[in-house]
Structure 1
């Protein structure tokens, strides 16, 4: 077999340049000098006998060949990392690493507690948490950048035949109101009362907003008739807006445990309606599954659901 025209270090440098957006930032992230980075790229282009960066652009812009090399190089580096994790597993969780993915609400409110449980049992395992949209996290699992993910939205259609999707637990969605609202003094409200409220909501393109609208529709509630007072870009901003008396909102119960305990918001129950969504565990069945990932799935995820109950514990 002929010698390869690139090294792993060169692939790592190329990936860092594109990720950071410049040669200087890539050098800083890799703790090397900028001239060293530039020399490696020059040698790489000489070995390949083809330019991989556009010389006419001030930004770090790849040529067609550069994009091709980056795409395959990322897969090569991912496989190398997978190999290292497999070798580390031989030490029986006395080290190693675990990369967990999560969608926004799940990653913000649920996963830190689960990771805390895991770290108490296996303190020597390095755990990373990546929080993005369901779509991005699903692709990260598919590409081998994430070992497993817990998501609340739907996996993209193009990945449903590739990934293994397992139902995990039901996450109840709560209607929250300011404690000063008139409805906070009644046991239950009617579905029709929802159309009299002013709502704080996420952007219409957000996965959570789409999931909530879909579930409400399944219960005969037309969210298009809601009066949307404002749209915000985070659950925390929405909770603060509700606390300030600006409107009502639908949020995951897992996101309001602290606020309910402190009594600073009101969870309004809707008569004869319980709104839930299913959380799912997503893995790639054809990629290596580390011992840390298997242990996290078997020991930690199952701990967080009460026996005989398919719902999330909220402490």
Structure 2
């Protein structure tokens, strides 16, 4: 074929229909009419001379050809986004976008502070923070949809050869209890005391709960003996419940800085037990990296890191080794 038989708009429509499961919902998300969506699909099928949807059921179901086009179409759209961001980069941090990923705890309590510092230095750069599970965040970095991420869980095994995983910081899991709890008055508690406490935790199926249980087990704490009295769906809810005297909990120290300053929660040290996990920075060295991402890596990450030497230029992929030039913009200031 000498002419490409589809447009980027048609690929966007195909992707939206596949994601939403219907022509109508796809039209709503794209802010166009349903007849316009149907017409574009009909034209696309005519141009390709192959059906893309099985119209026999209630839900818009892709045919084999439809799945094939969707797979390549998503790659094409991602490359288009990278191209636009590379062109924006010619303005040398006078615009552009930085997309940072994070798992739940780091995204809620650590990244907002970092992004605030970055925005103070580079107010013209648009910053997006995407908070998802470690697995989904890792795939976002691998696919080029996220520039870099800080995670607390394990990178999926199938991505470990694709991503560069850099040790970033030690995150302590603290045992918190109400300030009026009897054990809050002792200097340290014994490991056996844990099994007498009532605990509040996240749902047993949540990713963060699984990470916490794994870290506790590595600290030789038998999680099966902990008496879980209540399961809640957020760290904030757990902190409020502990503060109200409903039980104790293990949470990341990054999540309780404000409460410790206000002295409304107590951290109970456990004798001869330290419960820590390592946070990691993940990047994809094979994807385009914007100047905004370079600046974030070099200027914002090191002060918060337990392992700043891991972020030294010679240990990073080539695109991070050269500092952005002072002014290489080809465009006049608007």
Give TM-score scaled by structure 2 length: 0.88
> For the Cα contact (< 8 Å) 2:171–2:254, is it kept in 1?
yes
- The corresponding residue for 1:106 is 106
Q: How far 1:91 sits from its partner (Å)?
A: 0.8
Bigger drift between 232-241 and 167-176 goes to 232-241
- The corresponding residue for 2:42 is 42
Residue 168 (structure 1) aligned with residue 168 (structure 2): yes
Bigger drift between 111-120 and 268-277 goes to 268-277
Could you list the per-position Cα deviations for residues 233-290 of structure 1 after superposition, in whole angstroms to 9, with x for gaps in the alignment? 2211211221222211111111111121222221111122221111101111111111
- The corresponding residue for 2:146 is 146
Q: How does 1:128-147 map to 2 (within 5 A)?
A: 128-147=128-147
> For the Cα contact (< 8 Å) 2:99–2:127, is it kept in 1?
yes
| Structure 2 segments unaligned to the other structure (5+ residues) | 311-334
- The corresponding residue for 1:313 is none
- The corresponding residue for 1:87 is 87
Q: How far 1:140 sits from its partner (Å)?
A: 1.0
- The corresponding residue for 2:269 is 269
User: What is the rounded CA distance, in whole Å, between the counterparts of 2:307 and 2:28 in structure 1?
Assistant: 49
User: What is the rounded CA distance, in whole Å, between the counterparts of 1:164 and 1:308 in structure 2?
Assistant: 16
- The corresponding residue for 2:260 is 260
User: What is the rounded CA distance, in whole Å, between the counterparts of 1:220 and 1:122 in structure 2?
Assistant: 45
3-state SS, counterpart of residue 270 of structure 1: coil
> For the Cα contact (< 8 Å) 2:97–2:126, is it kept in 1?
yes
3-state SS, counterpart of residue 98 of structure 1: strand
3-state SS, counterpart of residue 271 of structure 1: coil
3-state SS, counterpart of residue 29 of structure 1: helix
- The corresponding residue for 2:318 is none
3-state SS, counterpart of residue 105 of structure 1: helix
Could you list the per-position Cα deviations for residues 12-66 of structure 1 after superposition, in whole angstroms to 9, with x for gaps in the alignment? 1112223344333332332322221221111111112222222122223322222
3-state SS, counterpart of residue 90 of structure 1: helix
> For the Cα contact (< 8 Å) 2:138–2:155, is it kept in 1?
yes
Q: How does 1:1-315 map to 2 (within 5 A)?
A: 2-305=2-305
Q: How far 1:206 sits from its partner (Å)?
A: 2.5
User: What is the rounded CA distance, in whole Å, between the counterparts of 1:58 and 1:113 in structure 2?
Assistant: 47
User: What is the rounded CA distance, in whole Å, between the counterparts of 1:64 and 1:132 in structure 2?
Assistant: 30
User: What is the rounded CA distance, in whole Å, between the counterparts of 2:232 and 2:66 in structure 1?
Assistant: 39
User: What is the rounded CA distance, in whole Å, between the counterparts of 1:61 and 1:234 in structure 2?
Assistant: 36
User: What is the rounded CA distance, in whole Å, between the counterparts of 1:262 and 1:47 in structure 2?
Assistant: 66
User: What is the rounded CA distance, in whole Å, between the counterparts of 2:227 and 2:49 in structure 1?
Assistant: 61
3-state SS, counterpart of residue 196 of structure 1: coil
- Residues 55 and 69 (structure 1), Cα distance of their counterparts in 2 relative to 1, 3 Å cut: same
- Residues 28 and 269 (structure 1), Cα distance of their counterparts in 2 relative to 1, 3 Å cut: same
Equivalent pairs, count:
310
User: What is the rounded CA distance, in whole Å, between the counterparts of 1:305 and 1:250 in structure 2?
Assistant: 22
Bigger drift between 281-290 and 217-226 goes to 217-226
